[in-house]
Structure 1
Amino acid sequence: MGFGIPGRGASISFGRKGLCYTMTLRAVLLGLLTAAFISGYAHLNDFVVHNGRFISDLMPVAVFGTLVFFLLIINPLLKKLKESWVLTAQELGVIIALALIACSVPSYGVVQCIPTSIMLPFHFQRMRPGWAQADVTSMAPKRMMPTITGDEEQVLNGYVMGLGEADQHISFTQIPWSAWSETLWFWLPLLLSITIAAMGLAVVFHKQWSKHEQLPYPITRFAHALLPGKGEARSRVFQSKLFWIGFGVIFAIGLNNYLCRWFPRALIPVRTYLDFSPLARLFPILVDGHGLRLLRPRILFTVVGLAYFLASDVSFSMAVGPFIFCTVAGILSKYGVVLRTGHHQSVKIEAFLFTGGYTGIVLMSLYTGRHYYWNVLKRSLGLRASDEVGDYAAWAMRVFLTGTLAFVVQLVVIGLDWQLAVLYTALALIIFCAVSRTIAETGAFYIGTEVFPGAIIWGFMGATALGPSTMLIMFLVTVILLVGPGWAPMPFMVQSLKLADDVDVKVSRVANLAVITLLLSTAIALPMILYWQYDRGALLASGGWPRYAATFPFENMVEIQHRLTAQGTLELSESLSGWRRFLHIAPTGPAVTAFFVALTLSIGIAVGRLRFAKWPFHPVMFVFLGGSQALTLSASFGLGWIIKSLVSKYGGEKSYAAVKPLMIGIIAGDMLAKFVPMVAGTVYYFVTGDPP
């Protein structure tokens, strides 16, 4: 399945044609090899080498740190050895684009959460009397869970505790593949269908976002600024003194702080945070709204650099948004209205605020590009449309529609009513679109979410209307598909497409290769994850967040069953189906109210941006509100906004442009400073056998 015209868009040719460079075979092979390495090594790095997260966020050091190192050292060396060995900007653009797609696969975006979410519940059921009494794992459709009957010692206990002994690793044949085959044949087509659909949607959005709206894509802009010109080994930005000043200072700070871990008595760390927490007693409302971390701001140099390239309202909103939210939350808490309660898949007001904000952002995005999207849709259906619609966009829309339909059909087959399957799919796509729009517009690479479709539908309809079995299906899909949308393929895809476009490589060809990369990475990453979890044990070789998230669906089942039994509506809830469910809707009032409040505010702020030239706010604040990521990023966006404002005010456009190399150097220095520990830790592990 691809996005180009059959027989033409998927081909690879050589040389240059018109204004678009075609891909060299070298670039494609290196891109696929890089993707294969990322897919195979990521889990080893995270849970065996213990070297920090290999794919930390939407601006992975594994990609951008490597790029900085390559352009500083390797490419100039290749030029000295033989000029034809030098990788061009077009080749590097293709390699980075495919590497970014691969980054989503071994992380939360595609496969990492599959094993823990469907196997660990059997282990937890043995340890939790409430689960065992209700036999909650038996409530899930058979195809959604692995088969552990027969050799439970190897299938379940081997997964939890590990089959390896000391330094003796297991072989791939010791993994009980038969226990996993049936459930993986369900999960992989389900996940790949919605993933490829979302990637197709990214291609549809590309022209509108990059050309018509001219979104900044700050991360892609940084990467493109480093790429070499024709006949060069690296960009001319490396010749700027300001670049080297920014690079040198930030790299020195990062390297010094890393070496302090090894030589704590010889070196003094440079603090990258400020501590105003003693002032907390002066801001009790902010603290009551969970804003204490705002008084201990951390400076993220990469975020400061990226913020310099953004519109002022974006950076300002990212800086002050958490203060506004936490203050409002603190005031409401005085009146008994608590926004943050329960776990992530429970019905809580905060989650509905996020959902309303996400929905508003997506609706305004669709409204802004309505003419173009409508023409793409008509063209994809074979109807006459505007000439501005390229063939690749029409094919991408067909891929999106086909993948979305396949996802809905699979949800229906496994047990959801088609109405609920459509609602669930719409919410999932809203999440992907909002996160992708955020990375294109802000470069805020650290994105979490409180939007879990199963819980949102629960809040709108009530437990009686849905029933435990239906809700369990939605909860299970959520903890695998949407537990970390900040690592989803779609936001990586929008960056890949923009970079390809910037280096004059055809978007359709990169899109086709992206699908191949996704399939290749999935085929490598999932077996490697299962291997290391059966070798070391899933309690050691898996992340705390996926293990915790694996409890959500079944904790909810115990709670919902008890509640419906007490209300005498359990049998009724299981007998409802189709449109009859909507006759028994019982919305959670405060949560639904919160949704519409956030939706209204989000759309209102977006309209204000369109109507008023000096409007200070941007709806992107609703992607973060007062969550952990917002508290982490706030100060750095604020510092970037202050620097840009001062330079623009007192130096004008000329000074603003002159300072750009400094900011690029700051980002590059930070990336390389994080890349060095990654390489050093890996070398240390393979030399000594011990984690760094």
Structure 2
Amino acid sequence: MGDDSTAPVRTRVRWGLTFPIALVLILLNAFWVIRAERVGSGPFFSTISLFANGLFLLSIVLLLNWPLRRFAPKLALSQGELLLIYAMVSVGGALAGQDMCSALLPLLAHPYQFDNATNNWLERFGQFLPKAVMVGDTPTEKEALKLFYQGHSTLYTPEHLNAWQTPVLLWTGFVAVLFWTMLCLSVLMRQGWQDRERLPFPVIELPIQLTEQKKDTLWTNKLFWIGFGLVACIEVLNGLASLYPQLPTVNLQHTDVAGTGVFATSPWNAAGFTCYSFYPFAVGLGYLLPLDLIFSCWFFYLFWKAQLILSRLMAWDVTPDFPFVREQAFGGYIALLVFLLWNGRSYFAQMWKRIWKEASDLDDSQEALSYRQALVGFLIGFLVMVGFFAWMGLSPLVSFAAFFIYIALALAVGRIRAELGPPVHDLHFSGPDHILTRSFGTPAFSGQDLTILTFFYWFNRAYRSHPMPFAIEGLKAAKDVKMSQKVMFWGLVLAGAFGAFAALWAYLHLSYDFGASGKMRGGQGFSAEGYNRLNGWMTQPQAPNGIANGAMVVGFVFCALLMIARIKFPWWPFHPIGYAISGSWSMNLVWMPLLFAWILKGLILRYGGVRMYRQAMPFFLGLILGQCLVGSFWHLIGWALDIQPYSFWGG
């Protein structure tokens, strides 16, 4: 798409119609996500880049919009309005995901509920807990917690509402500021990534094509319906087989081979959790990626497994966590960020001139905010986050360092999605809390600091449902359909604030119904991980881990060398982003579909060229939508029948 940043905005957006629809869907979607991921056993919508339930809700809106377009076009939603709704719902879904707000509430109550004479948690670190943002410190709150964990009750009693209202409002405000900060950062990056570097933003491609309103669209393409129908039929069969076990199935899900066959013997058992799978949606997403990245994802996945096996063979794994895959991947992420900043130095120089009202090549008149406003908004948001954790008791310097690392990782995740759009990007256990204590050792921090660092755990345990990419993808979609950046921006601001509140409400509602220690799953376990780690920090102080720090340096240097080689040699097949993301847990689930996508795309490009690649794309988009729609539908069926539904994705 050409650079038309000064072109007039042509797509209409009716705030009074679009925002209410989006807010209702955000509320329903938050309930749906937590119902699927916390009460049920999947599908785990928020652990993949393209949310299946978001596509499902978009398709429902499109279905309802179709007769309006035909019989009452003035009432029908435009493409810009549809994409605004989709973007807002996606942000709400990310915040409700199991690596964001649904991991928060149990963290606020866990030590008060599970302290006992064996662990002595409250005696050890109770005086450091930020009681103003937690629940359980008073007898009334303790009583409210009993039913929160037991269930068979209701949130809607004065005692329960009073116990939770202050923490919920405070944390809603924090999440809103967190997302505001990332939105301002997205405004600063959008023009450089989209208009200057022309990054493809693969994850938003399907929603854009689904909402097109010209004569020949994806919906009229035969190959699209062939791909959609093929996967839909398989998933209908699999769903029926979950209800009627006598029916055959076509297993598309991952199967763990750890502990079986050769993987039951040393050194091969060092590979750990290792899967094969056939997820069609991952094949479809893989087809949208550059060929070198698809190759690098599955190649470096096997590369990481080889490191683990070699470490067992050479007995290097007597050192705990060796070969420090997480730390190597973290170093790779930081290398990507450094190269991003270096390669964009001319863009940032022009932006700086624009901020100070000097002559500049950049025009920010069509952006959601001027660059000066975006920079000020970012700095204010960053300082508010630092101040919030300092108010909770974290040393200001540690708080600053922790959020600096978080923003750096958020920017790297956003860049990865914008440039390459992989199906997964989790980076488990690599957040600021982990990196700081590994790098400097736990004795470098006070008991107060270690306790408050634990409150980074809920939004840094993994980055599977990170909201940053959805912010910049929304702004990109607005530019593509010539929609006002300001409307998209403020819609996303509203989605961030309301989405956080909706997620916390939905979790509380379901917890008092099913019990956080009953049918609810995951959240309590995540909290136990965080507080057990804190207990370990205090009872068994850990010195700075020199080997782990060295692994970060190795990851940084290796990823940097890959980037240099990619620039120097056009034929170079190894992509640095593949190295950075393939050591993650989720890559276990999709490496084989990406291998299939690499083979298919490579053959198509070799024997049919770019023309055949474009002609075949609707088929692969059909694979994505077919599995996402039918998989989401089966969850709703299981929910309605009050049974464990078929789950197409077990991430």
Amino acid at match of 2:326: A
- Pick one of 492, 505, 510 that aligns with 1:532: 510
Alignment correspondent of 2:54: 63
Shift of residue 596 of structure 1?
Answer: 0.2
* Percent identity between the two aligned chains: 21
d(CA) in 1 for partners of 2:256, 2:97:
35
1:428 aligns with 2:428: no
Alignment correspondent of 2:235: 254
Gaps of 5+ in 2: 1-6, 646-651
Amino acid at match of 2:210: L
Alignment correspondent of 2:3: none
d(CA) in 1 for partners of 2:41, 2:74:
38
Alignment correspondent of 1:355: 330
Alignment correspondent of 1:263: 244
Q: Contact conserved, 2:256 with 2:273, CA < 8 A, in 1?
A: no
- Pick one of 125, 128, 131 that aligns with 1:142: 131
Q: Secondary structure at the match of 2:427?
A: coil
d(CA) in 2 for partners of 1:531, 1:36:
12
1:121 aligns with 2:111: yes
Q: Contact conserved, 2:31 with 2:503, CA < 8 A, in 1?
A: yes
Alignment correspondent of 1:511: 489
Gaps of 5+ in 1: 1-16, 165-169, 568-585
d(CA) in 2 for partners of 1:462, 1:276:
35
d(CA) in 2 for partners of 1:547, 1:497:
35
Alignment correspondent of 2:437: 458
Q: Contact conserved, 2:9 with 2:484, CA < 8 A, in 1?
A: no
1:560 aligns with 2:551: no
Amino acid at match of 1:560: W
Judged with a 3 Å threshold, the aligned counterparts in structure 2 of structure 1 residues 656 and 558 are, in CA distance, closer, same or farther, namely closer
d(CA) in 2 for partners of 1:115, 1:133:
18
Q: Contact conserved, 2:254 with 2:589, CA < 8 A, in 1?
A: no
- Pick one of 627, 633, 636 that aligns with 1:679: 636
Shift of residue 219 of structure 1?
Answer: 1.9
Q: Deviations over 1:225-270 (max 9, x none)?
A: 222324x5xx5222222222211111111111111111221x2111
Amino acid at match of 2:397: Q
Alignment correspondent of 1:7: none
Judged with a 3 Å threshold, the aligned counterparts in structure 2 of structure 1 residues 348 and 608 are, in CA distance, closer, same or farther, namely closer
Amino acid at match of 2:445: L
d(CA) in 2 for partners of 1:367, 1:144:
40
Shift of residue 193 of structure 1?
Answer: 2.3
- Pick one of 291, 310, 314 that aligns with 1:331: 310
Alignment correspondent of 1:214: 198
Amino acid at match of 1:329: L
Amino acid at match of 1:472: T
Q: Deviations over 1:311-353 (max 9, x none)?
A: 11111111211101110221123333339957xxxx9933322
Amino acid at match of 1:103: G
d(CA) in 2 for partners of 1:339, 1:290:
15
d(CA) in 2 for partners of 1:133, 1:406:
29
1:92 aligns with 2:82: yes
Alignment correspondent of 2:217: 236
Shift of residue 280 of structure 1?
Answer: 5.4
- Pick one of 181, 188, 201 that aligns with 1:197: 181
CA-based RMSD of the aligned residues comes to 3.0
Shift of residue 41 of structure 1?
Answer: 4.4
Alignment of 1:546-585 (within 5 A): 546-563=523-540
- Pick one of 587, 609, 632 that aligns with 1:652: 609
Amino acid at match of 2:179: T
d(CA) in 2 for partners of 1:96, 1:528:
20
Shift of residue 623 of structure 1?
Answer: 3.6
1:419 aligns with 2:410: no
Judged with a 3 Å threshold, the aligned counterparts in structure 2 of structure 1 residues 547 and 133 are, in CA distance, closer, same or farther, namely closer
Shift of residue 475 of structure 1?
Answer: 1.6
Shift of residue 109 of structure 1?
Answer: 5.2
1:369 aligns with 2:353: no
Q: Secondary structure at the match of 2:575?
A: coil
Alignment correspondent of 1:607: 564
d(CA) in 2 for partners of 1:281, 1:273:
22
The normalised TM-score by structure 1 is 0.84
d(CA) in 2 for partners of 1:624, 1:357:
9
Judged with a 3 Å threshold, the aligned counterparts in structure 2 of structure 1 residues 291 and 135 are, in CA distance, closer, same or farther, namely closer
Amino acid at match of 1:272: L
Q: Secondary structure at the match of 2:200?
A: coil
Shift of residue 53 of structure 1?
Answer: 3.9
Q: Secondary structure at the match of 2:271?
A: coil
Q: Contact conserved, 1:472 with 1:553, CA < 8 A, in 2?
A: no
Alignment correspondent of 2:8: 18
Alignment correspondent of 1:224: 208
Shift of residue 273 of structure 1?
Answer: 6.0
Shift of residue 19 of structure 1?
Answer: 4.4
Shift of residue 592 of structure 1?
Answer: 0.5
Judged with a 3 Å threshold, the aligned counterparts in structure 2 of structure 1 residues 600 and 29 are, in CA distance, closer, same or farther, namely same
Judged with a 3 Å threshold, the aligned counterparts in structure 2 of structure 1 residues 673 and 104 are, in CA distance, closer, same or farther, namely same
d(CA) in 2 for partners of 1:31, 1:282:
48
Q: Contact conserved, 2:326 with 2:583, CA < 8 A, in 1?
A: no
Amino acid at match of 1:601: F
Q: Contact conserved, 2:252 with 2:277, CA < 8 A, in 1?
A: yes
Q: Contact conserved, 2:53 with 2:629, CA < 8 A, in 1?
A: no
Shift of residue 587 of structure 1?
Answer: 2.6
d(CA) in 2 for partners of 1:49, 1:271:
20
Judged with a 3 Å threshold, the aligned counterparts in structure 2 of structure 1 residues 471 and 118 are, in CA distance, closer, same or farther, namely same
1:595 aligns with 2:552: yes
d(CA) in 2 for partners of 1:19, 1:80:
24
Judged with a 3 Å threshold, the aligned counterparts in structure 2 of structure 1 residues 45 and 554 are, in CA distance, closer, same or farther, namely closer
Amino acid at match of 1:548: G
Alignment correspondent of 2:271: 290
d(CA) in 1 for partners of 2:535, 2:255:
43
Q: Secondary structure at the match of 1:310?
A: coil
Q: Contact conserved, 2:176 with 2:493, CA < 8 A, in 1?
A: no
Name whichever of 549-558 and 647-656 sits farther off: 549-558
Amino acid at match of 2:334: T
Judged with a 3 Å threshold, the aligned counterparts in structure 2 of structure 1 residues 553 and 664 are, in CA distance, closer, same or farther, namely closer
Q: Deviations over 1:442-479 (max 9, x none)?
A: 33233322312112111111122212221111122x12
Amino acid at match of 1:269: T
d(CA) in 1 for partners of 2:537, 2:471:
38
Q: Deviations over 1:74-109 (max 9, x none)?
A: 444444543444433222111111111111222245
- Pick one of 516, 521, 541 that aligns with 2:499: 521
Q: Contact conserved, 1:274 with 1:298, CA < 8 A, in 2?
A: yes
Shift of residue 111 of structure 1?
Answer: 2.2
Q: Contact conserved, 2:475 with 2:485, CA < 8 A, in 1?
A: yes
Judged with a 3 Å threshold, the aligned counterparts in structure 2 of structure 1 residues 684 and 292 are, in CA distance, closer, same or farther, namely closer
d(CA) in 1 for partners of 2:104, 2:254:
39
Shift of residue 46 of structure 1?
Answer: 4.5
Q: Secondary structure at the match of 2:96?
A: coil
Amino acid at match of 2:314: Y
Q: Contact conserved, 1:340 with 1:350, CA < 8 A, in 2?
A: no
Name whichever of 591-600 and 134-143 sits farther off: 134-143
Number of equivalent positions: 634
